[in-house]
Amino acid sequence: MSTLLIRNIDAVVTCDKEDSMPRGVDLLCVDGIIQRIGKDLESQLKKPASGQPAPSIDRVIDASGMIAYPGLVNAHHHLYQVFSRNLPEVQNLELFDWLVALYEVWKNLTEETERLASLTAMGELMKNGCTTVFDHHYVFPANGGDLIGAQWEAATRLGIRMHFSRGSMDRSRKDGGLPPDSVVQTVDEIMKDSVRLIEKYQDPSFGSMKRIALAPCSPFSVSEDLLRESARLARDYHVRLHTHLCETKDEENYTLEKVGLRPLAYMEKLGWVGGDVWYAHGIHFNTQELQLLAQTGTGVCHCPVSNMKLSSGIARIPEMLAMGIPVGLGVDGSASNDGSNLLEELRVAYLLHRLNSSDKAPSGYDVLKMATMGSARLLGRDQEIGSLEEGKCADLFLVSSSRLELVGALFDPKSVLGTVGLKGAVDYTIVNGEVTVENGRLAKVDEEKLTAQANAQDRIYLGR
Ligand SMILES: [Zn+2]
């Protein structure tokens, strides 16, 4: 049994249904689960009920003057892209041209590049309060090796909760798609490998550290067959479905021209709506389509930084929230974000919708809930993660209130991360009851060594 006691937390922003925020409490984690949140747990543990042995506490964290938040859940990423950031030649491009240019870099992806990029990107996420990451991986070069295995090695080493995906592309340039031939596969190859990976990485147990979704890349890089077969296989194995949808007007024009349907109508025809489906971006839905998402419980992962960077548009998030559509938050790939920081995404989301929707915009606290319970719901894990409640997983982060940057800003701890933002890493990130970030540094890996190795590998990968 492993136990962690976090003592004397100034405020616990629980993000539970009652929006409760107990003050001056302790939080006890036993074997990765929050066993109790309450006052003075330490003295109660020292004096157990008669006949009961006193539980031994493996570790105590003094959280005086700190605020605890539920761990952030990143619902859309492409970890490998951390090695193709800020490349001058793609900075003024929009999605389709940007993808065509970057596939020339990404087609050289290898296991070692994937491993180090994953360590780097997930390390940055964790230093900024993220405890669960979903990665949408869809580039599988012919000689790339075991890329999902490399991600798993990185996640295990860092201690993060990981949702993988078996992404896919089967439509290369010769079939009217965007990627080169060397990174696409046949439907049969993809289905066979999907079964292999589901059997290896889908752990449906409560509090599991690994799950997997099926995630063809986008309607314009995969065939109708691949979308239909992926939906069928996902339902057979009870795993979730994910893809990019309604990111750009170019995509809408593409499906109208090729199949005579708007993107969501096309996906609906192939079985791609329901409570087990979530889309990245969801910018260009019309009102009727938003109603379909609400009726079917189909979710949307909002990625505002990427949408701004690629001039894709602004998702109708205030309306989606008002209609009860499941909405979470993600950073998207680091090539269209140029970072891997969900806390930053939270503040950008807050400001973008203030600009676009004024008093209809979500509050700072609403965007925090989007990045916690909202994203947890997209991953099908809202009973396990996303809020700090007894019986849920011990995934959280702690922020000291004695920071110069937070002076005068802490009258509303629920909203502060959205409205003010956090400059610099969090103090602690705890995943599954384990300390993974301590005093703003990764606890399980040597950051200097990782940075040097990752920089060296990036130079080899980019050949520059
Ligand atoms: Zn993406």
How far apart are alpha carbons 425 and 438 in whole angstroms?
A: 10
Distance 138 CA to ligand 1 centre (A): 10
Q: Which residues contact 455 (CB under 8 A, 6 or more apart)?
A: none
Please give the distance, rounded to the nearest whole angstrom, from the Cα atom of residue 152 to the centre of ligand 1. 20
Question: From the CA of 107, how far away is ligand 1's center (Å)?
Answer: 17
CA of 245 to the centre of ligand 1 (A): 10
Ligand 1 centroid–CA 190 distance in Å is 19
Q: How confident is the model at residue 85 (pLDDT cuts 50, 70, 90)?
A: very high
CA of 12 to the centre of ligand 1 (A): 32
> What pLDDT is stored for residue 464 in this prediction?
87
Structure confidence at residue 47 as a pLDDT band (50, 70, 90): confident
User: Cα(335) to centroid of ligand 1, in Å?
Assistant: 9
Cα–Cα distances in Å, from 178 out to 96, 186, 289, 346? 7, 16, 26, 31
Rounded Cα–Cα distance for residues 57 and 73 (Å): 28
Ligand 1 centroid to Cα of residue 342, in Å, is 14
* Interval 224-253 mean pLDDT: 98
What pLDDT score does 49 carry? Answer: 67
Look at residue 35 and tell me whether its pLDDT is greater than 90. yes
- Please, what is the average pLDDT of the chain? 96
Exposure string (b/e) for 116-140, b if CB count within 10 Å is 16 or more? bbbbbbbbbbbbbbbbbbbbbbbbb
Q: Which CATH architecture has domain 72-378?
A: Alpha-Beta Barrel (3.20)
pTM greater than the 0.75 cutoff: yes
Distance 330 CA to ligand 1 centre (A): 9
409 has a pLDDT exceeding 80: yes
Q: Measured between alpha carbons, how far is 436 from 367 in angstroms, rounded to an integer?
A: 24
Distance 112 CA to ligand 1 centre (A): 22
Instruction: Tell me how far the alpha carbon of residue 77 lies from the centroid of ligand 1, in angstroms.
Output: 6
Confidence of residue 154 (pLDDT cuts 50, 70, 90): very high
**CA 420 to centroid of ligand 1, rounded, Å:** 27
The token pair at 44 is 């109660």
- The pLDDT of residue 50 is above 70: no
* pLDDT at residue 69 greater than cutoff 70: yes
Average pLDDT rounded to a whole number, residues 113-132: 98
Secondary-structure class of domain 3-70+387-442 per CATH: mainly beta
C-alpha 133 – ligand 1 centre gap (Å): 13
Domain spans, the chain: 3-70+387-442, 72-378
244 CA → ligand 1 middle, Å: 6
